[in-house]
Amino acid sequence: MFMVLGCGTMALVMGDTMAGTLAVPLVASHRLGAGVALVDLQWIASAAAITYAAALAAAGRLADAVGRRRVLLAGLLIFALGGAAAAIAPDLVVLVAGRALQGAGAGAIVPASLALLLTQLPATRRAAAIGAWSASSGLGGIPLHGAGGWLAELWNWRLLFAPAAVAGLLLAVVAMMLPADRGDRADRWRRVPDPIGTLMLLGGLTALVLALSKGQQWGWPSLLGLISMAFGMLLIALVRSCGHRAPAIDLTLWRRPRFLLAALIALMYGLVSLALLSTAPLLLRHWQLPLPLIGLALAPLSA
């Protein structure tokens, strides 16, 4: 059951990421996107990425402190709520807010699901479990790309977010069947991550993304862009200076060579893959390619 839940959550998160990128060109031609600049519609994808990044480290440490199943269950419910809000959104504001909720939920379920695998499986099975857990993200993207375009073209773009709500609730039911864990009891509450620092990290990331996404529209370099970027960098720099015993960003990890190497590899992968996933649907749509074929064309990326 731990393997089913861990792999299911990873597939769910990645499938929803693909849904966000495929939805952008569809919303652009829908009444929700009428008169909205394309750069602003990108917040459908960016909102989830920002809250995911801000919640990831804090949620992982919170899971160790108060219980992995608790954080996983809470994350799945938040994720499902965000998916439902995005699927029935009456306007763009609600859609972006729903996507932000999904990102926050994903930031909780990814580290909590991995922590459950590492703590509940015997050491001899952990390497294979981590491999399957990682590969599940690609498996989640294949059916969404392969079938998501057909569903959205035949029915509505809202169907791209409906699976997240349904699957999130189903996985939450599975999570409730797991035995309760109370986390690491020693100094439990002293290990709860800094909430103010986490909010500062969220604000800093938002300001940086705002500067990068709106830079061309504002004119670059512009006063607004420079202020937004400087404010974001200042907030992120101050996160570590809050003096909390469990900071939102633990810089001691960066002293470990293997962690540093893995982080750099992840950074390079993200710079290529996320940029490609965000722009490729728009470019292919601009070339008048039907949406079902756009999804099929992007499916090899997940594979």
What pLDDT digit, counting tens, does each position of 190-217 carry? 566 677 777 887 888 888 877 877 776 6
Give the confidence band of 233 by pLDDT, cuts at 50, 70, 90. Answer: confident
R_g over Cα of the chain: 19
Q: What token pair was written down for 39?
A: 């750069």
Q: Token pair for residue 227? A: 């202020």
pTM of the entire structure? Answer: 0.82
Letter for the amino acid at 68? R
Q: Is the Cβ–Cβ distance between 32 and 82 less than 8 Å?
A: no
Q: Alpha-carbon distance 34 to 177, whole Å?
A: 45
Q: Is the pLDDT of residue 183 over 70?
A: no
Q: Any idea where the domains of the chain sit in the sequence? A: 2-193
Contact between 157 and 23 under an 8 Å Cβ cutoff? The reply is yes
pLDDT digits (tens, 9 = 90+) for 147-166: 777 777 777 788 888 888 99
pLDDT band at 34 (very low <50, low <70, confident <90, very high): confident
Task: Residues 2-193: name the CATH superfamily.
Answer: MFS general substrate transporter like domains (1.20.1250.20)
Q: Which residues have a Cβ under 8 Å from the Cβ of 199 and sit 6 or more positions away?
A: none
What is the reported pLDDT for 76? 94
